[in-house]
Amino acid sequence: MEHRITLQPMEQARAAARGQEKTSTGTLAASFDDATFGQFRMPHMGFNLARIDLVSLRLASLCAQTGSLSAASRRAHCSISAASERLAALEDALGARLFIRDHRGLKITAAGELLVHHATFILESLEVLHGQLSAPRLQLAP
């Protein structure tokens, strides 16, 4: 599934969401050109980097891999309710809906795909860093 993202000034995105046309310059907001726009929260809700943690990024990646909150929570060694709360907090911090939950499991959104792409890079980079810092020659340095 491929989604095209358009960027527009924040005020214009808000006006479009209200059904009004307004041209302005300023902060850019992302919106989708199809029905997935409703999966994103309004641009004014913002992005809170301080509320994003590695456990939640890993959980989102596991949810994308398994398509199931229960399977992802088992692999992350946490309860389903804790996993659900973490996903909700991550979505709130990002201001975007990452997964659509239904009786069949989880369906990843375009925002979720984007997050998982970056989360994978972040988590793999940290594993490489850990390996490099664990090298014997680095342990001897003051």
CATH number at residue 82: 1.10.10.10
Are 122 and 56 within one domain? yes
**What is the CB-side half-sphere exposure of residue 7 using CA atoms within 13 A?**
4
88 and 27 both lie in a single domain: no
The reply to whether 57 and 121 lie within a common domain is yes
Mean pLDDT of 112-124: 96
Tell me the CA distances in angstroms from 101 to 30, 36, 97, one per residue in order.
Answer: 22, 14, 10
Residues of the domain holding 14: 1-33
Alpha helices in the chain (DSSP H): 10-17, 54-66, 69-75, 80-94, 110-133, 136-139
The reply to whether 142 falls in a domain is no
Tell me: the pLDDT tens digits for 60-109? Answer: 999 999 999 999 999 999 999 999 999 999 999 999 999 999 988 999 99
| Beta strand 5-9 pairing with 28-32 | antiparallel
pLDDT of residue 50: 80
Q: Are residues 61 and 129 in the same domain?
A: yes
Give the span between the Cα atoms of 17 and 11, in whole angstroms: 10
pLDDT value of position 66: 97
Provide the percentage of residues in the chain whose pLDDT is more than 70.
63
Residue pair 101/108 in contact (Cβ under 8 Å)? The answer is: no
Residues with Cβ within 8 Å of residue 130, at least 6 apart in sequence: none
Residue 28 lies in a domain: yes
Is residue 129 included in any domain, yes or no?
yes
Residues 15 and 84 placed together within one structural domain of the fold: no
**14 and 69 share one domain:** no
> How high is the pLDDT of residue 69?
96
Residue 1 has pLDDT above 90, yes or no: no
For residue 134, the model assigns a pLDDT of 87
pLDDT band at residue 118 using 50, 70 and 90 as cut-offs? very high
Quick one: 2 and 61 in the same domain?
A: no
User: How far, in Å, CA of 134 to CA of 23, rounded?
Assistant: 54
What was the pLDDT predicted at 49?
A: 78
pLDDT of 58 over the 90 cut:
yes
User: What pLDDT, in 10s, does the model give residues 14-57?
Assistant: 555 454 444 343 333 444 444 444 444 444 456 777 889 999 99
Residues 15 and 62 in one domain: no
